Amino acid sequence: MASNVNPTVRRRRLGQELRRLRELKGMTAEEVAERLLVSQSKISRLENGRRSISQRDVRDLCGVYEVEDHRVVDSLMQMAKDSRQQGWWHSFGDIPYSVYIGLETDAASLRVYDPQVVPGLLQTRAYAEALITGALPETTPTDIEKRVQVRMRRQDRIAAPDVPLRLWTVLDESALRRVVGSRHLMRDQLEHLVEQSQLPHVTVQVIPFEMGAHPGLNGQYAILEFPDAADSSVVYIEGVTSDLYLEKANDVQQYSVMYEHLRAQALNVEQSRQLIADIAKDYAR
């Protein structure tokens, strides 16, 4: 395993391997939990990579699964040790969507649909600050600044010189018309969006109001895909108090099909860029 793989992805890979060993043994998560005198939810969190895995957890699970090859055990123990390292985002303290940031940092491609706002990876600093301030009125200025800094740092994936993130964004026209901060701020944001859309690895499409009802009316979501075939794709749905991560192949397939419908119903790249530019000019008047 490459040494530069971030801890979030390490946990996912380790969790997948532990699930595979459990299934080979023909045991349910409930049976394993009963053997180890822990909750079933703990076993599930370990296997889906949402919880940090200790070397002791790995040792105990390998004992239950009767893994006799010491090389396998040692490899899993090392993965557990590596998974407890901290990614760059941990230096900012408690970030509510740190699992997502870890996945995004290692993703090869990201498909995003947002009906309300410009996605975080394409936001200007001023837009991000105004958006976070409006969306989280109870948040202190210090926490707002921390969130803005994290959002700006995440954008390094777009500018990465070696392997930049392949980003495909579909926006609803309402995300362009919603005045976040001020009209002047919106003009700058949309001009920035036009500039970013001209990057070879960034695609931006807009679904105009005239399209009416479409498959994205249920809300925002993102699909992350990874360079290593061992890492399954993930659908991410942001929530108010908790986020949802879907990894089952059927779930990912359904959201992928829905995304294809959104792309087909949206304006093409040139038409979208022109619409964004026109709305930016309206803000400038």
| Domain assignments of the chain as residue spans, ordered by start | 7-85, 90-284
- The pLDDT value given to residue 215: 82
pLDDT higher than threshold 80 for residue 285: yes
pLDDT in tens, 12-65: 778 878 888 898 889 898 998 888 888 888 888 888 776 778 888 888 888 888
pLDDT in tens, 82-138: 767 667 776 777 777 777 888 888 889 999 999 999 999 999 999 999 999 999 888
| Runs of H (alpha helix) within 198-268 | 249-265
- The pLDDT value given to residue 67: 86
pLDDT in tens, 151-174: 999 999 898 888 899 999 999 999
- Note if the pTM is more than 0.75: yes
- The pLDDT value given to residue 92: 77
Most confident of the following: 7-16, 52-61, 67-76, 190-199 = 190-199
Q: What average pLDDT score do residues 184-202 get? A: 96
Query: Among 72-76, 111-115, 145-149, 204-208, whose mean pLDDT is lowest?
Result: 72-76
What CATH number belongs to 90-284? 3.30.870
- The pLDDT value given to residue 2: 38
φ, ψ for residue 257, nearest 5 deg:
-65, -40
**Residue 206 confidence class, pLDDT cut points 50, 70, 90:** very high
pLDDT higher than threshold 70 for residue 6: no
- The pLDDT value given to residue 1: 34
Q: How far apart are CA 229 and CA 236, in angstroms?
A: 19
- The pLDDT value given to residue 153: 92
Residue 6 vs residue 174, higher pLDDT: 174
Which of 110, 109, 45, 121 lies closest to 83, judged by CA?
Answer: 45
Contact 209, 201 (CB under 8 A): no
14-18 long-range contacts (CB < 8 A, ≥24 apart) are 14/49, 14/53, 14/58, 14/76, 14/79, 14/80, 14/83, 15/46, 15/47, 15/48, 15/49, 15/53, 16/47, 16/49, 16/230, 16/232, 17/76, 17/79, 18/46, 18/47, 18/53, 18/58, 18/61, 18/76
- The pLDDT value given to residue 230: 67
Fold of 7-85: 434 Repressor (Amino-terminal Domain) (1.10.260)
